[in-house]
Amino acid sequence: MAITRRIFVAGAAAAIASPMLAQADPWAGIADAAGALSQCHALAVRQQGQPVLTEVFRGPAIGRAVPIKSVSKTIVAALTGAALDRGEISSLDATLGEVAPRLIPAGADPRVAGITMENLITMQAGLERTSGANYGSWVSSSNWVANALGRPFVAEPGERMLYSTGSFHVLGAVLAEVSGQSLLTLARARLGDPLGIEVPAWTRDPQGRYLGGNEMALTLDGMVRFGEMYRQGGAFAGAQVLSRDWVARSFDVRTRSAFSGLDYGYGWFLGQGDGVRYALARGYGGQIICVAPAVGMTLALTSDPLQPARSGGYFGDLQRLIERQILPLAKAQVT
């Protein structure tokens, strides 16, 4: 498999691969297509564990940790699997009232105690969303967990997906509660150390809890390593980081996004392109980790974190790039 690596600094390209190699490299067209998207900062692709494309088009240098926004939700989902593997949570059917009753605020709807861990990780808690137009008032509140759990029910738990960072913040608070460790400590010990990546400290709520579901930062290589671990059934560098069963369950369809139309598992959006199934972690602005185990592919892509990436706009462009160009090429490389 040919390898192309061209690093773009301040808009100027410096080709590391030879012109002949770049010309013969089928991934060069993918680099051109991604670089033509003005919000796209960097792209890395591995196939069968080998780097086939690594490019920085604009923005921060390749080794710098950058905001991954709601890809953080997929990190928290992985930590939920780690807690299940360790028996800290008995099952995803366990309820908030059973696992972490101290998190439930006084005066909350009685149904809050019956919200399950699966309801939280699939964002089907039924509570009014804290994302979108409600995000600002939520993070301005004096207690983010209490605010999220004190909101009115707009659907029954398990009824439908309501994209809400509050659900993952509550889930992160549960993980801290059952382990007796902060979400940062868990992320570093259970993911950062075995994957060989740095996990910088990030935003905390007024109670000192690390925000579950937003504001984490990773390098492009760190994103790739996390994706590679999922692609390989929870294994990385000879160690089983997450159980194979958890990874398989994470890629099963649990609900569906009303915004993108993609299915959703445990922290991963699920789709297919050219007959190849993929799982995708998505963050505001166009931060992406995508894995397609059937063709041995892992992809990480970073974008301007200050610009929106709606399904009808830039994210749609990225989705088409993945489904119509990257996955067919990856498929062709293994057939």
Q: Is the pTM of this model over 0.85?
A: yes
Check if the beta carbon of residue 128 is closer than 8 Å to that of residue 134.
Answer: yes
What is residue 313's predicted lDDT score, i.e. its pLDDT?
95
- Contacts of residue 233, defined as CB under 8 A and 6 or more positions apart, other chains included, come to 244, 247, 248, 293
Nearest-Å Rg of the Cα atoms of the chain is 20
- For residue 25, what pLDDT is reported? 87
Q: What is the largest CA-CA distance in the chain?
A: 69
Q: What is the pLDDT of residue 23?
A: 52
Of 306, 65, 302, nearest in space to 202 by CA: 65
How many other C-beta atoms can be found within 10 angstroms of the C-beta atom of residue 220? 24
Residue 335 pLDDT: 75
Cα separation values, 140 from 116, 136, 143, 163, 166, Å: 26, 6, 9, 19, 13
Report residues of the chain scoring pLDDT below 70: 1-23
- Give every CB contact of residue 203 below 8 A, 6+ residues apart in sequence: 210, 211, 214, 215
Determine the pLDDT at residue 106. Answer: 96
**Confidence at residue 3, expressed as pLDDT on a 0 to 100 scale:** 38
Rounded Cα–Cα distance for residues 184 and 66 (Å) = 16
Q: How far apart are CA 208 and CA 260, in angstroms?
A: 33
| Structural contact between residues 138 and 147, judged by C-beta atoms closer than 8 angstroms | yes
| Nearest Cα residue to 111 out of 124, 93, 96 | 96
Nearest in space to 125 (alpha carbons), one of 102, 148, 91, 101? 148
Q: How many CB atoms lie within 10 A of CB 94?
A: 17
